[in-house]
Amino acid sequence: MPAINGFVISLTPSKLSVIYARRGRVQQTESISLDYDQWADHWNDGLMRLDQPLRQLLSRFRGRKRMSATLLYQSNTCTKQIYPFDQGGAFARDAARSKLRECVGLTDPVSVCALGDQAGTSQSCMMLAYSDREDILRSLYAWLNRCGVDPIGMIPLSVASIIFAAKDASRFDSQTAILYLGAENSIIAHCEQGDLSLVRPADIGYSKLSESYRQVFSEQGEKKDGDSESSQVAPTPVECLFEYGVPFKPVECAGIELRSTVLPCMAPALQRIGIDIKQTIRFGIGSKGDLRNLYICGPGATIPSITKAIGEHLDLHVQPVPGAESYQPLTEGGSGTVESQLIETVIPTPGILPSIAGDEQVRKSLKTALVAGGAVALIAMGAEYTHSTITQQRMDEQAQNAAPLVQRVAQFEQTRDEAREIASMLGGLADLVSEQNRSTPQWISPLAQLSEYAGEEIRIQEIRGDHADAGFFIDIKGYAVGTKDIAPGQALDRFVDSLRQNTSTESIKLGATSRLDLSTGMSEDQSDPAAWGLQFSMRVMIKAQESPYSGFAQVSPEQTDWIAP
């Protein structure tokens, strides 16, 4: 696949930049500095304050009214996880996406990519799954659209750093691990026998070191406030970091001695980075490999004395990655930056987009299809027009000869339209009757006479009325008792016959019967008719009264030829 051709927009708390690349090479860059302290305010305002700066940058690229771009942005809400799998391909991608869904839910978009150069489906691999909040993505998407940019994908800088760190680690053997030192994060990666064995990100980057310069300059500026003779214009903290680095030697900047002021402020951050590296190597790599070297890559590799500061905590040979001397971390799209790695990469990095972006893509696809269909239709119409022009005179002559027939056709069309209106009216009436026409079960008659039919011999325990596909019914459960004159079975038969003769009864289905002992224990004479009963259950199907308008419901406009001549 070719490298990036197009625009890359980078958004950080201190800078907004736009880069145009062609065939993997930077052609033009434009940037504007932002107030670091207003980063939170920009998000609270929906990034509307950044509309004008972005439009100004885009206006410097001539002849491009609306463009497509990939967005790199710093995110504090990005969720990312790295999962190892025994096999790659679609199985690993789906599994990684499902695992991250358990953390972020179903609302936020999720994207997955393979780390390193492991593209085979049968070999083990590591998958990076990442997501960001829907509201954050919507704000970015709306901001870009307001400025005339169609976002191809939006990639958090921390995610891009992990991808490029794993790619750098795959270049070295098991004796070498790499530390990718980015602005807001750092990543330790290691390969064992050509496969990634460790990729561990940490939320600490060289911005923690530049904060030491910011803090010192702020404190010294307050002390020198009002002293115009001693005040000097100091470079930005990031510029100082890449110029003076970790100041182990006495050096001054803007009248401030750096070793005694900046170095103590850097110590906690350097100590945390060193401890994090040592613990990661100890528990992540351990004795699995003969680790000897630690290469520092990424933009932070060019910080002066950074290898000495980190190497003090490790029993490894720490040095910048080969080629780091050509890095240009302070130049937009310069070598060694995340932007340049994104532009130069052969395999594109998948981005994430809000859910509304999918709806917009569907709308654009439909619009494109409509335009293409319209163009094809115009071509076909043009071809037909020539043929129609040639045959028009012949058709006019035939129409003149067929004038009487045409008149009859016109009359028939008028009659047909009237018939269609009637058909539509009848169809609507049939639908209305079908919806409102309901059969009414004749419950009243059998229920009102039920006690009369039962008499003294039938003891009803349960009555339940319901309906099913077969119709309406009453389920009756009870038992029949005998007297001196009539046995329980005869009493039950008489009860069934009475129900069957009721005009509202359609049919009766008698269930199983069983003998029921009704003796009280005071008499042992089992021949006494009152000493036993006959347990029964039956279902009485009830007739339904049809609506007087039910005939209209039989009208089927789909099956009736209402417009036949």
Model confidence over 52-100: pLDDT tens digits? Answer: 999 999 999 886 677 889 999 999 999 999 999 988 888 899 999 999 9
Question: What does the pLDDT read at residue 241?
Answer: 92
Sign, CA torsion 248/249/255/261:
positive
Please say whether the beta carbons of 191 and 116 come within 8 A.
Answer: yes
The arithmetic mean of pLDDT across residues 194-203, rounded, is 89
Please say whether the beta carbons of 175 and 290 come within 8 A.
Answer: yes
Give me the percent of the chain exceeding a pLDDT of 70: 86
66: phi then psi, degrees, rounded to nearest 5: -135, 135
Residue 3 confidence (pLDDT) above 80 = no
Question: What does the pLDDT read at residue 424?
Answer: 79
Instruction: Give the model confidence (pLDDT) of 368-384 as tens digits.
Output: 777 777 777 778 777 77
Helix (H), strand (E), coil (C) string for 336-356: CCHHHHHHHCCCCCCCECCHH
The arithmetic mean of pLDDT across residues 543-565, rounded, is 60
Helix (H), strand (E), coil (C) string for 46-92: CCHHHHHHHHHHHHCCCCCCCEEEEEEECCCCCEEEEEEECCCCHHH
pLDDT mean across residues, the chain = 84
Q: Which two tokens mark 500? A: 């069957």
Question: What does the pLDDT read at residue 223?
Answer: 62
Is the pTM value of this prediction over 0.85? Answer: no
What does the CA dihedral 374, 375, 376, 381 come to, rounded to 10 degrees? 80
Distances from the Cα of 285 to the Cαs of 175, 189, 191, 278, in angstroms?
A: 11, 10, 10, 10
The DSSP symbol for 542 reads: E
Domains and CATH numbers, the chain: 6-78+132-353 (3.30.420.40), 440-545 (3.30.980)
Instruction: Give the model confidence (pLDDT) of 160-175 as tens digits.
Output: 999 999 999 988 988 9
